[in-house]
Amino acid sequence: MNRRFVLAALPLLITLTAATPPKKASAPPAPLPDLVKVVLTTELGPIELELDAKRAPIATRNFVRYVDQKRFDGITFYRAMKLPWGEQPNGLIQAGTRGDQRRDLPPIAHETTDQTGILHKAGSISMARWAPGTAKGDFSILLSDMPSLDADPKSTDPETRAGYTAFGRVSAGMEVVRQIYDAPISPTLGEGAMKGQMIAKPVKVITARRVVGP
């Protein structure tokens, strides 16, 4: 009886298995336009970004994934690096996920400025990182030209040779960037080179959204 029951049930099992629809392969991401517009709505006002997907596709695609998945909603601008030399303001502000595993996506490959042609000029947006290939969800906005962040292929120093990845610029809202830069700095927060560069009251990014259309 048991054997007959098993044999009788077998066609039903096969039928149910055959009826189960195969899993669909995940669709590849839709191609990005050459220029992607994003608005960071902060507590101090909006910052409009224009990202260069044509020349820096890896960094731009990464940033857009954070935006589309709303991983940047609620992050903060937490750092203002103020360089005391040269024409002022001289330095940058930094924002991002700060290693939050609930927000972070995998690290991305490094794109060098000598490959992309996008240099670190005032208003540029650039990926923050530790070593090349470790950039995730942190980024900087420059208030001055900072050629020291560009790749120098002739350098014998690996860090200088790699540089950082610039992938777009601020198209509107530099006055908000300046307000963040001018925010009071904590004398105690931060470690190593970042001590004395951490904003005492970080400025919140309320939302980050793509802008569709012209």
pLDDT at residue 23, as a whole number:
58
Please compute the mean of the pLDDT values over residues 129-134 and round it to a whole number. 96
205 half-sphere exposure, CB direction, 13 A CA radius:
26
CA distance 29 to 128: 24
User: Strands (DSSP E) along 71-180, which ranges?
Assistant: 76-82, 91-96, 124-127, 138-142, 165-172
Q: Let me know if 152 is exposed, middle or buried by CB neighbors in 10 A (0-12, 13-18, 19+).
A: middle
pLDDT digits (tens, 9 = 90+) for 186-214: 999 988 888 999 999 999 999 999 998 76
pLDDT at residue 101, as a whole number:
95
Tell me the pTM. 0.86
